Amino acid sequence: MSEESLRELIGLAKKSKWNQVKKYIKFIIQKTLKKEAGYNLTALDVSINGKKQPKLTLVIKNKEKVKEIDKITDFTHLSLYQATQNSNNLIEVSQNNGTLIVLAKYLGPSLNNHQMFDFSVHLDALDDPFFTIGNGKKIDCSEILNIINSISAPKVKPRKEKEKKESKEVEEIKIQDIEVLVFEKLTEKNAIWNGTETKTFKNWKAKLKNKYRIESGKIAYYKGKPTKKYSLYLDNLLKNKSNKAKKPTKKLNKKESGSKKDDKEILEQFIFKMITSKNAIWNGTETKTFQKWKVKMKNRYRIESGNIAYYKGKPTKKYSLYLDNLLKNKGNKAKKPTKKLNKKESSTKKDDKEISEQFIFKTLTGKNTIWNGTETKNFIDWKRRIYKKYTKDTGKNPYYRGKLTQNFQKYLKNLIKSK
């Protein structure tokens, strides 16, 4: 075994190599584990044998416990930390676009199994730093410098490429100028005055950008320039203006207007404006009232349905339908007469709500389950206690495929009845 030294590693590997990277991490732990201290493991958004949970924490104090790492199949961030009088060992693993990034700093022997990394950097107090590539081959500092210099050396572009670049730049200038052209043709006012954009032109751009976003659901700008589709949209404004005098106006039937309206109703801005009669966007940014309304609706939907409202920053299909129904319910409110429900009807409505844990918790404690868009600590602790009690009493799992089982729903309902 090589001499112990303070060592540092930066390793990059494809996500598909996670099982190989796990072996490397386990090897470091086995060689550096101190029983009196142990490694503290924390994993976020983790999958344990295919089952997802928001957070995992455990302490590894013996080599048998190291096997727990094998159960981890996926995560967003994983860290292991061991503190002793002589050293502080740290191993962190994160993901970025399908690439695993491993950072390790530990006091221990040298490890030679580098081939699982597509690229790695190794530093230690005794030897010179070195680099490795996918086959495990070591590259010294002078070699890596030669590789970098060969990549970064300026390449002379052929004439054809230069011409293509120049034509592209001319096209970009035309796209950039289309807003000025359309504005001046439509309003018969100057867009530029003394070398700067006029206030009227700026307001017109913000208004038109928001209108395009609501109608199409797409962005108007990319990297500060109008998109091709937005440029076509602006171009059509001029064509529509010249054709307005020729085309007679006609009334749309209900079926046609309904189909156009359905396209708009999936957008939160449109729903908000129809319900509150207020603007969602002001000067190109979301208003504070609209932001608060979004948080309120998201929490309300989460409590009522138990589902998430957003996926990858966009409203889910079910949440879009939920927002769409808000408009329909608003339109039907005036038409539907109020009536008193008998005990049987009210009990069935109550049963529908009692399915969700949020409703049960709020009914029993009188406290909110969600605060500032996240679950409260009281609610999380209460759920843990209820899961343990239910499992202990019945020997059954409260969830199946991420949803409450029917037996667990009945169990939760009985909590209210026994109260």
- The secondary structure of 304-354 as a DSSP string is HH-S-SEETTEE-HHHHHHHHHHHHHHHHHTTSPP-PPPHHHHHHHHHHHT
Burial 281-320 (b: 16+ CB within 10 A, else e): beeeebeeebeebbeebbbebbbeeeeebeeeeebeeebb
Residues of the chain falling short of pLDDT 50: 1, 252, 256-266, 334, 341, 345-354
What's residue 260's pLDDT? 44
In the structure, how many helices (H) and strands (E) does the chain have? 13, 22
Half-sphere exposure of 51 (CA within 13 A, CB side): 9
Distances (CA, A) of 4 to 22, 117, 126, 130, 371: 22, 22, 9, 17, 49
Which residue is associated with the tokens 């169990």? Answer: 411
**How many other C-beta atoms can be found within 10 angstroms of the C-beta atom of residue 221?**
12
Structural domain boundaries of the chain?
A: 5-152, 172-192+209-244, 254-333, 343-418
- Looking at residue 382, its amino acid is W
Q: Which residues pair with 108 in a beta bridge?
A: 5
What's residue 270's pLDDT? 85
For 341-362, how does the pLDDT look when each residue is reduced to its tens digit (9 = 90+)?
A: 455 544 444 444 445 788 888 8
For 170-210, how does the pLDDT look when each residue is reduced to its tens digit (9 = 90+)?
A: 555 566 688 888 888 888 888 888 888 999 999 999 998 89
What's residue 37's pLDDT? 86
Strands (E) in 114-239, as ranges, are 119-124, 130-133, 138-139, 192-193, 196-197, 221-222, 225-226
User: Which secondary-structure segment (H or E) carries 60?
Assistant: strand 51-60
CA dihedral (313, 317, 320, 322) positive or negative = negative
What's residue 353's pLDDT? 41
